[in-house]
Structure 1
Amino acid sequence: MPTDSTLAPVPLELHGRDRVGLDEVVEEAARMTRVDRKYLVDRCVAEAFLGRLPASFRVLGIDGRDSTTYSSVYFDTLRLDACRDHVQQRRRRWKVRSRLYVEDQLCRFEVKTRDGRGITEKTVRLSEPGRHGRLGTDESAFVTQVLDDHGLDIDVATLVPSMRVDYTRVTLADTAAHLRVTLDLGVECSLDNGRVWVDEGWVLVETKGGLRPSPADALLGSLGARPRSFSKYVSAASLLRDDIPDNDVRRLRGRQLHAQEAVA
């Protein structure tokens, strides 16, 4: 059975690390054109990783919190073209989402693009919390401009809300080295026809840095973790929609990932 999404995940042990403020992390992130590497690891590996991560990685602290609840609404075509581009491993692809940082009631509209070199760039526009999950006139104009600037010919008028993704995130940043690490717990994805969630014993770790793997990636490798092409959005869609190939995540079902179709 799925875990109760109203219950906060058990927090990770952060071993008395120094804290870094949101302003410093946001300023650094704004300058990043980054490569993201993702790892799905069991909780023991995640704890070992945090225990050995250099002290230069400080924990993002906001109002005394070491974690933040994220709620994201993704927009796609009815065919889920953005999802299909990922499954087909197209070098140039895109994602559009509205993201709410729940405790802070901060809302942002985001467009993520990936170029032919594998570089991910995220362009952000602040929005009002009451507009979370809505693709209105202003948001559509923003998305159109960003996609056009990156040479992506997408008809924004065809985009509709396709999935909601909720989770708790811990962020660590080495601002001097321009590196970040995030750890996501309690991941749950909701679609019209059901939901998919990451088992409570597993953590999604993501490193954000340059073209070359960072010390954080090397540490994860020493713990037996390997980077994988993993998207919360794509994985959930592929497990609940027959028209989206699930080759990349089929073997994760029943262990790392669980799916439950909606009752008709």
Structure 2
Amino acid sequence: MTPALLLAADLGLSALRGASLAEVDAAAALQHRTDRKYLLPLDRARLLVDQLAGSHHVLDLAGRRTTSYLSTYFDTGQLGAWRAHIQRRRRRWKVRTRLYAEDGLCRVEVKTKDGRGATVKHALKAPTRAYGRLDDSAAEFVDGVLRRADVPVAPAALSAAAEIRYVRAALADLDHGTRVTLDGVLTCHHGDRTAALDPGHVLVETKGGARPAPADRLLLRLGARPVSLSKYIVGQSLLRPGLPDNDVRRLARTYFTAVARPAPLLERIPAA
């Protein structure tokens, strides 16, 4: 059984009603949102899925209920995006290319924070071959988004800094426009080093408005508490020598293990 199928089985996704990508996007395509993150043991994650079954659908892509993600993050030579997050600056940002592996779909994404601290995500479709780099059209898009967000970083100053891989299940409340994602088989890569999330845990994210959603209340009852955790920030904190110690690294060391060897690539099925 592949890691993706194993995660789907561990989470009990077959018990949920399926929804198409169009249905999920129509109801819950939140580009301006508040994200809350939780690190949850697999057994409690399955309880969460069970308890959300009455109100949430799972994204179903022709019978597939998980998707393998590959994300290459871009940063300045001085790791400006990493430092803005660690130092809790008001103008935080991330730039990445993302590949949906089984579907061969690629996007360029820029995430910023607005004045209220909510996450704003901007995305541009890109050809599969553009994954892992910023071509001219991607650089123009990134430049426009960062300028509008008053982030003084030029695309020419950015280079690939890390790759994050994981398998995701996406749940959506189609009536109320909120989502829950569960990420497992999560690894961070820089050079010849890899950091992996403990396989007995998943990273759960709720995505909705400023007020906690029903899923957040369920998570609290399951003993979970929100954590400030970015996949990219974790990867850099654990794998880059010489970076200052920080709260993210201390948290990550509890749930992640760093190893000095690269993990095998996830299977990629390019689009026709």
Q: Work out the CA distance in 1 between the residues paired with 2:252 and 2:30.
A: 35
Alignment partners' CA distance in 2, 1:166 and 1:16:
26
Displacement after TM superposition at 1:105 (Å): 0.6
1:164 match: secondary structure: strand
Residue type of the alignment partner of 2:201: W
Aligned to 1:10: 7
- Note the alpha carbon deviations across 1:101-155, whole angstroms, 9 max, x for none: 0111111110011123111011110000011111111110000001111222212
Q: Are 1:246 and 2:243 an aligned pair?
A: no
Cα gap change, 1:228 to 1:156, in 2 (>3 Å): same
1:169-188 correspondence runs (5 A):
169-188=168-187
Aligned to 1:212: 211
Give distance in 2, aligned partners of 1:240 and 1:126: 30
Deviation at 1:40, TM superposition (A): 0.7
Q: Quote the offset at 1:246 in angstroms.
A: 3.5
SS for the counterpart of 1:176 is coil
1:216-235 matched pairs, under 5 angstroms: 216-235=215-234
Contact 2:16–2:53 (Cα < 8 Å) also in 1:
no
Aligned partner letter, 2:67: T
The offset of 1:27, in angstroms, is 3.1
The aligned counterpart of 1:3 is none
| Cα drift, residue 248 of structure 1 | 2.4
Q: CA deviation at 1:14?
A: 2.1
- How many residues align? The count is 257
> Aligned partners of 1:65 and 1:246: how far apart in 2?
38
Deviations 1:60-84 (A, max 9, x none): 0001100000011000011111011
More helix by share: 2
Structural RMSD (CA): 1.7
Who is 2:136 aligned against? 137
Q: Report the identity percentage.
A: 44
TM-score relative to the length of structure 2: 0.89
Q: Which runs of 5+ in 1 are unaligned?
A: 1-5
Equivalent residue number for residue 32 of structure 2: 33
Q: Is the 8 A contact 2:234 2:252 kept in 1?
A: no
Q: What CA distance in whole angstroms lies between the structure 2 residues aligned with 1:28 and 1:151?
A: 30
Cα distance in 1 between the residues matched to 2:103 and 2:66 = 11
Q: CA deviation at 1:237?
A: 0.7
Kindly provide the amino acid, as one letter, of the partner of residue 248 in structure 1. Answer: V
Structure 2: which 5+ runs fail to align? Answer: 263-272
